[in-house]
Amino acid sequence: MTKLWGGRFQKTPAQWVDEFNASISFDQKLVEEDIEGSLAHVAMLKETKILTEEEAGQIKKGLETLKQKALNGQLSFSVQYEDIHLNIEKLLIDEIGPVGGKLHTGRSRNDQVATDMHLYLRKQLQVIIEQIQSLQHALITRADENVETIIPGYTHLQRAQPISFAHHLLAYFWMLERDKERFQESLKRVNISPLGSAALAGTTFPIDRFYTAEKLGFDSIYPNSLDAVSDRDFIVEFLSNSSLLMVHLSRFCEELILWCSQEFQFIEMDDAYSTGSSIMPQKKNPDMAELIRGKSGRVFGNLVSLLTVLKGLPLAYNKDLQEDKEGMFDTVETIQGCLEIMTGMVKTFVVKKENMEKSVQQDFSNATELADYLAKKGLPFRKAHEVVGKLVYQCIERGIYLNDLSFEDYKLAHHLFDKDVYEVINPYTAVNKRNSEGGTGFSAVQKQLQLAKSKVTN
């Protein structure tokens, strides 16, 4: 089979060289974008009179037929034609005859592939942004139901202070809000047209880059043709934003996994997001959450691998750049899958309020309340800390908690203690008193919830 670029060659490559060189096995994902880009290009070739109306009309019709066939899954591609661009060109020529060979006038695969990638990522980013928003909605709903549900807050994974469960969930809402902003903001750099930069240096044909940019919905064009064909920053940025998103999802999953363990029993994962064991009949494993946590690895890997591909490349296009695709496709699929599963898990886990509340009755996470109590009565905080620390030690020795101490024990520890001390160490009171801006007090959380709601459009 002759190559579309075979003119200057005497021999054809061995089959395995063709296979090594080809990207069609994965870049066929770009088929719609490739045809869309070609339709804009041919419209411009007509507009600028580089092609006649008739030629352009035939090409347009041929491309539309291919588009329809692509949608119906009727196109078959060949490794012989290397990539999606040459495969489409070959199929076009088969469809409409030699005039199809005029489509490539004034462009190169180098600007073509870059254009396809920009179009593809723009489309996927819109899906991702919507998906993040759905997850945020789910978090808001669960937070709304749990403003007054108390759980232990941790530092160093040691019980620290009691908090509202809604407050904990909303922490993830804000991480996702930043992720969403980053993806939205990146659209600015994705939505730029490289088309018309040709191989690297522009073209001698009187093309109109603004025309194709507008037709394809790009906001602007790359001002430098060398940069246009070799820039993959927008993909690095996408992989980096995706990595950070995965950090957030993975941390959240880690907590869900802990919370549904026998040791915590704070939530029960819905059956739909759990699996059983082939040997241990009692098991209900949070596999989906574990997979999301695990899949963060491949997304980080994709980021590092593209950075590595790019770092030593001279301008302009180099074939190394073909290695930009699989990591990007894989990341798109991975984060879209993870976001969907995550949203389902958040919507359906059962909150075991009694267990959460029981756990804060049986710990020392109210110790700060006591120290603050004494400090408010004028004792220097450092001294108050010491008094309460000794009380905690005494409790541990006796196998009891702070609310089991008698009033005499308190008086003995410090004369500033009064009867109201028992109310102060009630975890519910403790949470509700932290109404500083952004704090876990119920009214502060309500205020935060309103702010969160204002960030997500319906």
Q: Considering the candidates 25, 261, 277, 443, report the single residue annotated as catalytic.
A: 277
Least Cβ distance, residue 27 to ligand ARG (angstroms): 6
159 binds ligand ARG (CB under 6 A): no
454 noted as active-site residue? no
Interface with ligand ARG (CB under 6 A), residue from 109, 232, 295, 434:
109
Looking only at residues 17 through 36 of this chain, which bind ligand ARG when binding is defined by CB under 6 A? Answer: 23, 27
| Pick from 204, 161, 349, 378: nearest CA to 267 | 349
Least spacing, CB of residue 116 vs ligand ARG, in Å? 9
How is residue 76 written in tokens?
Answer: 């078959």
- Closer CB to ligand ARG, 322 or 331, in the complex: 322
Structure tokens at 134: 């759905």
Residues 6+ apart with CB under 8 A from 244: 179, 182
Least distance (Å) from ligand ARG to the CB of residue 348? 41
Q: How far apart are CA 420 and CA 377, in angstroms?
A: 13
Question: Both tokens of residue 60?
Answer: 């347009």
DSSP 204: S
The label of the residue with tokens 């009033």 reads 407
Nearer to ligand ARG, 23 or 164 (CB): 23
Instruction: Between 113 and 176, name the residue whose CB sits nearer to ligand ARG.
Output: 113
User: d(Cα 210, Cα 192) in Å, to the nearest integer?
Assistant: 11
What ranges make up the beta strands (E) of 105-157?
150-155
**Closest separation in Å from C-beta 447 to ligand ARG:** 50
Q: Residues 49-88 vs ligand ARG: string with x where CB under 6 A?
A: ----------------------------------x-----
Number of residues that bind ligand ARG (CB under 6 A): 10
CA distances from 361 to 204, 256, 351, 404 (A): 79, 22, 17, 11
Distance of CA 332 to the CA centre of its chain: 8
Cis check for the bond before 289: say yes or no (omega within 30 of 0): no
* Shortest distance, position 23 Cβ to ligand ARG, whole Å: 4
* Binding residues among 280-339 for ligand ARG as defined by CB under 6 A: 317, 319, 321-322
The catalytic position among 76, 156, 278, 406 is 156
Only segment of 108-116, 203-211, 281-289, 383-391 that touches ligand ARG (CB under 6 A): 108-116
Tell me the C-alpha distance between 458 and 136, whole Å: 11
C-beta closer to ligand ARG: residue 287 or 323: 323
Residue 110 found at the interface with ligand ARG (CB under 6 A): yes
Q: Name which of 113 and 351 has its Cβ closer to ligand ARG.
A: 113
Helix (H, G, I), strand (E, B), or coil: what is residue 126?
helix
Nearer residue to ligand ARG within complex by CB, 120 or 183: 120
Only one of the segments 73-81, 106-114, 206-214, 409-417 lies at the binding site for ligand ARG (rule: CB under 6 A); that segment is 106-114
With the CA atoms of 319, 321, 326 and 332 taken in that order, what torsion angle do they form, in degrees rounded to the nearest 10? -160
Q: In terms of CB distance, is 110 or 241 closer to ligand ARG? A: 110
277 is an active site residue: yes
Task: Report in angstroms how near the CB of residue 320 gets to ligand ARG at its nearest.
Answer: 9
Q: Which long-range contacts (CB under 8 A, 24 or more apart) does 212-218 make?
A: 212/40, 212/41, 212/43, 212/44, 215/40, 215/43, 215/44, 216/36, 216/37, 216/40, 216/115, 216/119, 217/122, 217/191, 218/118, 218/191, 218/192, 218/193
Pick from 5, 194, 222: which is nearest to 113 by CA? Answer: 194
CB atoms within 10 A of CB 271: 10
107 binds ligand ARG (CB under 6 A): no
**Least Å from the CB of residue 6 to ligand ARG:** 14
Indicate whether 113 belongs to the interface with ligand ARG (CB under 6 A): yes
Question: Does residue 91 bind ligand ARG (CB under 6 A)?
Answer: no
Closest distance to ligand ARG from the beta carbon of 322 (Å): 4
Nearer Cβ to ligand ARG (151/198): 198
Question: Residue 222 or residue 317: which is nearer to ligand ARG going by CB?
Answer: 317
Residue 433 per-residue DSSP state: T
The SS3 of residue 293 is helix
Nearest CA to 323 out of 340, 307, 300, 347 is that of: 307
Residues 371, 421 contacting (CB under 8 angstroms): no
Minimum Å gap between C-beta 113 and ligand ARG is 4
Q: Which of the residues are catalytic?
A: 156, 277
> Applying CB under 6 A, which residues contact ligand ARG?
23, 27, 83, 109-110, 113, 317, 319, 321-322
